[in-house]
């Protein structure tokens, strides 16, 4: 009798397991961005773009039994903190797909990508981000390309005295080098003054005074966060009336325009070309705010990554190979062109703040 009861229980257990749907497998994607400090507004936009894409991918069809989970980690755009955050995502959370931003932050984690077998989307401007690992991709503006577009504004001018003011980090250093090179090509006889500043400060009058003592006709400013707005304001307060040209980081965060006030009007800035208004509407419906000009980057990263995982599974090597086999990928809001180096370069343009 006991034997029959045991047999019945085992059959019932097998039947129950067979009839229970298999739990979906979760594929975690780390997002390593600045969520506090000067670059927090940029980091928030990027993270929200990734969250929005994950929600829509999961709602549509998932990844053949997989769902995407976004795991954020704050880098504060600091190389040491970024490295620590990267190791936490990989060694503690066991994550093999990471989206990140910030030149210094991304350069600090690059040496671990192949060692840890991680697919990394390093959405940063430094030229050395891509080209060293088959596992690394970049969906962003490259400093060299951005600098050329900025400098081209001077093509038909007689400007001969130029100043470059950049942040004292890898991002600023890459842009300074690129600007100097492009100015050397376009304006070889020009006098160039270079200064750097810390985006953690709030008063830049001493640095600006040194820069303006050379009487520049044009100032190139590279920066981000509220500090860049203060620099713009103090440039005008100290008497600079010439042409001000900034990179895309200077207007991506509302804090810049708030701190600069009226002084920002009339300055030239680079930006991504406007994408579909549907993206802005979808973003605003979820987060209650505008996406800015950068959130679409990690939205596209997630869509591309999801398509690769759906096709070849979640092995990092296979995912990277699948992406590199493509020359373009049509996302919901962007036709992403993929270069041999793994760069996905959205088109950019110059605009003037009115």
- Domain match, 300 and 266 both: no
Q: Are 346 and 354 in contact (CB under 8 A)?
A: no
Which of 270, 286, 312 terminates a domain? The answer is: 270
**Are residue 56 and residue 111 in the same domain, yes or no?**
yes
Q: Note whether 33 and 125 are same-domain residues.
A: yes
For 31, 96, 248, 326, 337, the CA distances from 320, given in Å and listed in that order, are 18, 11, 29, 10, 15
Q: Which letter does DSSP use for residue 160 in this model?
A: -
How many domains does the chain contain in total?
A: 2
Residues 51 and 128: beta-carbon distance below 8 Å: no
Task: Note whether residue 12 is domain-resident.
Answer: no
Q: Which of 238, 270, 302 is the last residue of a domain?
A: 270
* Average pLDDT rounded to a whole number, residues 133-141: 96
Examine the domain organization and report whether 260 and 158 are in the same domain. Answer: yes
According to DSSP, residue 265 is labeled T
Q: How far is CA 125 from CA 18, 129, 213, 324, 327, in A?
A: 51, 8, 30, 20, 21
In this structure, are 262 and 305 located in the same domain?
Answer: no
**What pLDDT, in 10s, does the model give residues 204-255?**
999 999 999 999 999 999 988 788 999 999 999 999 999 999 998 776 666 6
Whether residues 233 and 218 share a domain: the answer is: yes
**203 shares a domain with 255:** yes
Q: Clarify whether residues 258 and 291 are in a common domain.
A: no
User: Is residue 343 assigned to a domain?
Assistant: yes
Cβ count within 10 A of residue 239: 9
Per-residue pLDDT reduced to its tens digit, 77-101: 899 999 999 999 999 999 999 999 9
Is 324 contained in some domain?
yes
Residue 312: give its domain's CATH number: 3.40.50.2300
Domain that residue 163 falls in: 144-270
Q: Are residues 148 and 266 in the same domain?
A: yes
- Picking from 253, 270, 287, the residue at the C-terminal end of a domain is 270
**How many Å separate Cα 230 from the centre of its chain?**
23
pLDDT tens for residues 153-175? Answer: 999 999 999 999 999 999 999 99
Residues 237 and 326 in one domain: no
Q: Given this model, what pLDDT does residue 12 score? A: 42
pTM of the model: 0.84
Looking at beta carbons, which pairs linking 213-216 to residues 24 or more positions away fall under 8 Å?
A: 214/161, 214/163, 215/161, 216/161, 216/162, 216/163, 216/240, 216/242
On whether residue 18 sits in a domain, the answer given is no
Whether residue 284 is contained in a domain is answered as yes
- 261 φ/ψ sector (left φ>0, alpha ψ -120 to 50, else beta): left
111 and 207 together in one domain: no
């Amino acid at each position: 009798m006991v034997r029959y009861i045991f047999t019945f229980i085992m059959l019932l257990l097998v039947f129950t397991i067979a009839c229970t749907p298999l739990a979906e497998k979760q594929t975690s994607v780390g997002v390593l961005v600045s969520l506090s400090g000067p670059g927090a507004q940029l980091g928030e936009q990027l993270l929200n773009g990734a969250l929005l894409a994950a929600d829509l991918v999961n709602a549509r069809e998932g990844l053949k039994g997989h769902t995407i989970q976004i795991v954020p980690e704050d880098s504060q755009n600091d190389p040491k903190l970024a490295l620590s955050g990267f190791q936490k995502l990989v060694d503690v959370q066991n994550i093999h797909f990471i989206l990140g931003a910030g030149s210094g932050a991304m350069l600090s984690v690059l040496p671990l990508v192949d060692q840890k077998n991680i697919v990394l989307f390093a959405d940063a401007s430094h030229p050395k981000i891509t080209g060293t690992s088959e596992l690394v991709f970049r969906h962003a503006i490259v400093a060299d390309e951005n600098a050329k577009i900025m400098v081209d504004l001077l093509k038909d001018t007689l400007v001969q005295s130029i100043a470059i003011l950049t942040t004292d980090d890898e991002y600023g250093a890459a842009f300074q080098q690129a600007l100097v090179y492009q100015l050397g090509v376009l304006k070889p006889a020009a006098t160039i003054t270079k200064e750097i500043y810390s985006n953690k400060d709030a008063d830049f009058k001493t640095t600006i005074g040194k820069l303006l003592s050379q009487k520049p006709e044009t100032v190139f400013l590279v920066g981000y966060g509220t500090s860049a707005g203060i620099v713009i304001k103090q440039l005008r307060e100290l008497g600079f009336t010439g042409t001000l040209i900034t990179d895309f980081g200077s207007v991506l965060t509302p804090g810049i325009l708030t701190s600069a006030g009226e002084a920002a009007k009339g300055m030239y800035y680079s930006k991504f070309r406007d994408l579909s208004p549907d993206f802005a509407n979808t973003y605003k419906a979820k987060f209650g705010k505008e996406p800015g000009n950068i959130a679409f980057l990690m939205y596209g990263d997630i869509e591309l990554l999801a398509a690769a995982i759906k096709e070849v599974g979640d092995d990092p090597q296979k995912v990277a190979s699948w992406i590199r086999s493509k020359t373009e990928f049509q996302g919901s809001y962007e036709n992403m062109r993929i270069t041999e180096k793994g760069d996905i370069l959205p088109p950019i343009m110059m605009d003037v703040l009115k």
